[in-house]
Structure 1
Amino acid sequence: MDEADVVWMQEGHCRYYPPAAFFPSDGVGVTQARQICGECPVREQCLEYALENRIEHGVWGGCSERERRRILKRRRQETLVAS
């Protein structure tokens, strides 16, 4: 991974919180992490990074693991339909 690929991370709101805040064990924690991500200036880059790298755990770009799986599934289906 090239450092230039993750320079956006320096601008993330997550830098002000402990990593555990983004790896919650319950729905309340997911909601709190989403709120932190909500106004983050690099939210889209964060989500795309997680999707491209198939990161399975935690809240990235305001999306839980389940939400990211749905996004990937939808993108695969759209690709198949477009083919």
Structure 2
Amino acid sequence: MPINRTTTDDHEIAWQESALCAQTGPDFFFPDPGSSTREAKRLCAACEGREACLEYALTHDERFGVWGGLSEKERYALRRRG
């Protein structure tokens, strides 16, 4: 069954089409536990969609992976401070 998204939803994730992570693979952004997130964060730092990505992750309570240049623990700490 196809998912019907609203225009708002499409706008909300439009950044994903040009994001550097879309041109890489999920391994960088969802590393095995204990693995380094350094390479993912380096790509995020160079990505034009970084802020939108981070906002998306915080809004949707993404609990795994690197989003917007922050790891799960870093996003959790940011939420607690906010």
TM-score category (smaller protein): 0.7 to 0.9
Q: Number of residue pairs matched?
A: 74
**Distance in structure 2 (CA, Å) of the matches to 1:43 and 1:27:** 21
Distance 1:27 1:68 in 2: 17
Equivalences for residues 34-49 of structure 1 within 5 A: 34-49=41-56
Q: Could you say which residue in structure 2 is the equivalent of 1:13? A: 20
Q: Aligned residues: percent identity?
A: 38
TM-score between the two structures when normalised by the length of structure 2: 0.83
**Residues 14-66 of structure 1 deviation map (CA, whole Å, 9 limit, x = unaligned):** 111111210012342x1111011111001000001000100000000000000
Moved over 2 A (4+): none
Give the RMSD, CA atoms, in angstroms. 1.2
Note the residue ranges of structure 1 that are not aligned, 5 or more in a row. 76-83
Q: Distance in 2 between matches of 1:49 and 1:58?
A: 13
TM-score by length of 1: 0.82
Structure 2: 5+ residue stretches without partners: none
Q: By how many angstroms is 1:5 displaced?
A: 1.2
